[in-house]
Chain A
Amino acid sequence: MQADEDMRKKAEAALKKNAAYGEDFDLNEYGLASEEEERADDLEELSEEDQRTLLNVGFTPSEDNRSGSFLMLNNAVTHSSLRDDDVVELMSLRDAMKVHDWVKDYSWKLVEPDKDKYTAMSYLQDANGYFIRAPAGKKSKMPVQTCLLIGSKQVSQTVHNIVIVEEGAELDVITGCSTKHGIEKGLHLGISEMYVKKGATLNFTMIHNWGEEIGVRPRTVVHVEEGGTYISNYVTLKPVKSVQAYPTVILDGKGAFARLNTIAVAHPGSELDLGSKVVFNAEDTKAELISRTITTGGKAIARGEMIGNANNAKGHLECHGLVLGGGMQRAIPILEANVEDIELSHEAAVGRIAREQIEYLMARGLTEEDAVGMIVRGFLDVGIQGIPDELKADIDATIAKIGENAI
């Protein structure tokens, strides 16, 4: 109890602590998002517009090919259902705290409440979110889908998620974040703590589709044990005011592996400050960080960081940025070796599409527009599996538009 009180005091003190990176948001400008529940048991009964919003972030209202679905509107859980309750557990974090007394041992253990004003705010509000657990040895054939939606103007949404993949289990999660149609200004603060235990695998795909005046401050830390695998795909292709994220993966057991793919487009007026950090704390750990960003007039900052603390760790960092029609690209790779036997490398390149590549395709009979579209599509394709057709079509349409505008 005393510890809780100490932490509360620290968090209160941190409410004025600016984040290390990204534009500062004044939390007082935003009202607290409502906790009032509007239950939506049958997602297909939502308005067509709402269903389209969900589909565009990979969330299928029909729940076909999904083992579970979780929807949060503002700060309230509106839907939580499970089809495959043998292999996965899904509920709100607050419910999970009631069901399992051990969940508290996983809460605020990876993300520090006083890291910055955004984590402090989420802590002090006792933010709710999703709790997903794959029990030991269980493998779900279909992914769990979650969606965090802002549905009111000028509010800050605070979310706290915990994902636990127990020993030998496998779990796929597709999570989408979006705003309801017509919502312009807002703030999303999302805390995610993920635990990949011995020999387990977590595939985590996150699709952001925010509005032009939305500020987004996710805070994610992932802990991976011996032989565990964490794969993350982060996709943000639509205009947003500002996203600043620096997810950190701690490879804490022998042979643990992580791959983080980031795919982002910075439109005019958007600022994307996207980092990924891997800490190699055990022998034979491996990681790949791949960032593909495009600016069509906005700012894109790709930070990649690898800290090697154990022998025979191997990591590769790739930051590629295309400038199509203005904007700013900055790639900041950081490699740190604290032991002798380690192999960390990076490859960074920013600039326009090589004329030679465009003409190569034109010589095969493609128009300049089609050639640019094909190159951009290839540039952004890092082989994400399991995204629904509607989202694929939306991604293709966005890319086609980028191709047209780039000429």
Chain B
Amino acid sequence: MLEINNLTVEIGGRRILKGVDLNVEAGYTNVLFGPNGAGKSALLMTLMGFSGYNVVEGEIIFKGEDITHMSVYERAQMGMGIMTQRPPNMSGVKLYDLLNVISKDMKDTEALAETIDMVRFYDRDVNVGFSGGEIKRSELLQLSAQNPDFLLLDEPESGVDLVSIEQLGKTINGLLQKDCKCAGDRCKHGKSALVITHTGQVLDYIEADRGYILCNGTVMCSGNPREMLTEIKEQGYEECIKCKLMKI
């Protein structure tokens, strides 16, 4: 589904990602760990094609096509969707109107909107005055209307209260069609995702297949996400920085 080779990215002349190699197979959900400032969000933003993230080396292959220099729109059309950490305030753009445009009136998002208590936000300007948790729910609702094949999720659980986190985790799981237990079937019909998580809480609800650790703009390690999370919780990222041996 996604193949990142030797990706080097600069923001304002500063090198943020250095030679990143990473894969997400069809139907897989991979997780990205790493300390603050490691470049995790920058990687997701680069994958979506946002301006300001300049690829100076390497390539991004999505569904077999080189998308390294494609526009944000083209990537979205190919089936990529993103939930960013701090989406911009969209003054005047009503959530309801945006949902209709995104779903091209094809997909009914009403049921989900009710489940995650977003109907009352329909007439509100997108993200304007939304709390952290409201932003996450609004982003999820938009992603559900968009229905992409590949989801980039930047800390979906941050800012969400403990009660809502279960709802949110389940919704993401539904979006990823992870209820489909057959691995073979999931490869064919399921969605893929690359998820950034600090706390790992979201992993209680979604089945993660592979974990990556990003430090100082470089992938340090990859492996079983649950084991990695336990390791990080016990030893922090210091070990990874020292280790570097496991680099794929």
**Interface residues, chain A, with chain B CB atoms under 8 Å away:** 354-357, 359-368, 370, 374-375, 377-381
Q: Is the CB of A375 within 8 A of B90?
A: yes
0 or 1 for each of B68-93: is its CB under 8 Å from A? (1 = yes): 00011101110011101001101111
Task: Give 9 CB contacts A-B under 8 Å.
Answer: A359-B72, A362-B76, A363-B75, A364-B102, A365-B76, A366-B101, A378-B90, A378-B92, A378-B125
- Of all chain A residues, the one with the shortest Cβ separation from B77 is A365
- Of all chain A residues, the one with the shortest Cβ separation from B89 is A357
Q: Is the CB of B72 within 8 A of A362?
A: yes
Which applies to chain A's interface (DSSP): helix, strand, loop or mixed?
helix
Q: Is the CB of A363 within 8 A of B81?
A: yes
Q: Is the CB of B101 within 8 A of A363?
A: no
In the complex, which of the residues B77, B90, B146 contacts A360, with contact meaning CB atoms closer than 8 Å?
B90
Q: Is the CB of A368 within 8 A of B91?
A: no
Q: Is the CB of A378 within 8 A of B81?
A: no
Task: Judge if B48 is at the interface, Cβ distance under 8 Å.
Answer: yes
Q: Is the CB of B93 within 8 A of A378?
A: yes
Task: Judge if B51 is at the interface, Cβ distance under 8 Å.
Answer: yes
Q: Is the CB of B76 within 8 A of A364?
A: yes
Task: Judge if B170 is at the interface, Cβ distance under 8 Å.
Answer: no
The docked-state distance in angstroms from the alpha carbon of A39 to that of B142 is 55
**Interface residues, chain B, with chain A CB atoms under 8 Å away:** 48-51, 71-73, 75-77, 80-82, 84, 87-88, 90-94, 97-98, 101-102, 125, 142, 146
The docked-state distance in angstroms from the alpha carbon of A375 to that of B49 is 20
Distance in Å: Cβ of A387 to nearest Cβ of chain B: 17
The docked-state distance in angstroms from the alpha carbon of A356 to that of B51 is 8
Q: Is the CB of A359 within 8 A of B51?
A: yes
Which residues of A lie under 8 Å from residue B71 when comparing CB positions? 362, 368
- Given known contacts A363-B72, A363-B80, A378-B125, what 5 new A-B pairs fall within 8 Å (CB)? A355-B51, A357-B90, A359-B49, A366-B101, A374-B98
- Of all chain A residues, the one with the shortest Cβ separation from B71 is A362
The docked-state distance in angstroms from the alpha carbon of A21 to that of B98 is 40
Q: Is the CB of A365 within 8 A of B73?
A: yes
Which residues of A lie under 8 Å from residue B97 when comparing CB positions? 374
Q: Is the CB of A363 within 8 A of B82?
A: yes
Distance in Å: Cβ of B144 to nearest Cβ of chain A: 12
Distance in Å: Cβ of A355 to nearest Cβ of chain B: 6
Distance in Å: Cβ of A385 to nearest Cβ of chain B: 14
Which applies to chain B's interface (DSSP): helix, strand, loop or mixed?
mixed
Q: Is the CB of B92 within 8 A of A362?
A: no
Distance in Å: Cβ of A320 to nearest Cβ of chain B: 8
The docked-state distance in angstroms from the alpha carbon of A367 to that of B72 is 9
Which residues of A lie under 8 Å from residue B82 when comparing CB positions? 363
Task: Assess A377 versus B92: contact at CB under 8 Å? Given A359-B50, A364-B142, A367-B73.
Answer: yes
Q: Is the CB of B91 within 8 A of A379?
A: yes
The docked-state distance in angstroms from the alpha carbon of A365 to that of B106 is 14
In the complex, which of the residues B48, B81, B88, B102 contacts A356, with contact meaning CB atoms closer than 8 Å?
B88
List 10 A-B pairs, minimum CB-CB distance, nearest first: A378-B92, A362-B72, A378-B93, A362-B73, A365-B76, A356-B88, A364-B102, A359-B72, A357-B88, A379-B92
Which residues of A lie under 8 Å from residue B51 when comparing CB positions? 355, 359
The docked-state distance in angstroms from the alpha carbon of A263 to that of B87 is 27
Q: Is the CB of B72 within 8 A of A374?
A: no
Distance in Å: Cβ of A261 to nearest Cβ of chain B: 13
Which residues of B lie under 8 Å from residue A357 when comparing CB positions? 88, 90
Q: Is the CB of A365 within 8 A of B102?
A: yes
The docked-state distance in angstroms from the alpha carbon of A318 to that of B96 is 25
The docked-state distance in angstroms from the alpha carbon of A365 to that of B76 is 5
The docked-state distance in angstroms from the alpha carbon of A381 to that of B93 is 9
Q: Is the CB of B73 within 8 A of A375?
A: no
- Of all chain A residues, the one with the shortest Cβ separation from B87 is A360
Q: Is the CB of B146 within 8 A of A364?
A: yes
Most buried by B among A360, A365, A380: A365
The docked-state distance in angstroms from the alpha carbon of A370 to that of B104 is 13
Which residues of B lie under 8 Å from residue A378 when comparing CB positions? 90-94, 125
Which residues of A lie under 8 Å from residue B125 when comparing CB positions? 378
- Of all chain B residues, the one with the shortest Cβ separation from A357 is B88
Distance in Å: Cβ of B163 to nearest Cβ of chain A: 28
Which residues of A lie under 8 Å from residue B81 when comparing CB positions? 363-364
Task: Assess A370 versus B90: contact at CB under 8 Å? Given A363-B82, A364-B76.
Answer: no
The docked-state distance in angstroms from the alpha carbon of A379 to that of B94 is 11
Which residues of B lie under 8 Å from residue A374 when comparing CB positions? 93, 97-98, 101
- Of all chain B residues, the one with the shortest Cβ separation from A364 is B102
Which residues of B lie under 8 Å from residue A359 when comparing CB positions? 49-51, 72
Q: Is the CB of A364 within 8 A of B93?
A: no
Q: Is the CB of A380 within 8 A of B92?
A: yes
Which residues of B lie under 8 Å from residue A380 when comparing CB positions? 92
Which residues of A lie under 8 Å from residue B48 when comparing CB positions? 363
Q: Is the CB of A364 within 8 A of B98?
A: yes
Which residues of B lie under 8 Å from residue A364 when comparing CB positions? 76, 81, 98, 101-102, 142, 146
Distance in Å: Cβ of B12 to nearest Cβ of chain A: 14
Which residues of B lie under 8 Å from residue A365 when comparing CB positions? 73, 76-77, 102, 146
The docked-state distance in angstroms from the alpha carbon of A356 to that of B98 is 16
Distance in Å: Cβ of B232 to nearest Cβ of chain A: 29
Which residues of A lie under 8 Å from residue B142 when comparing CB positions? 364
- Of all chain A residues, the one with the shortest Cβ separation from B83 is A363
Distance in Å: Cβ of B42 to nearest Cβ of chain A: 15
Q: Is the CB of B76 within 8 A of A363?
A: yes
The docked-state distance in angstroms from the alpha carbon of A363 to that of B81 is 6
Distance in Å: Cβ of A340 to nearest Cβ of chain B: 31
The docked-state distance in angstroms from the alpha carbon of A380 to that of B94 is 13
The docked-state distance in angstroms from the alpha carbon of A123 to that of B142 is 58
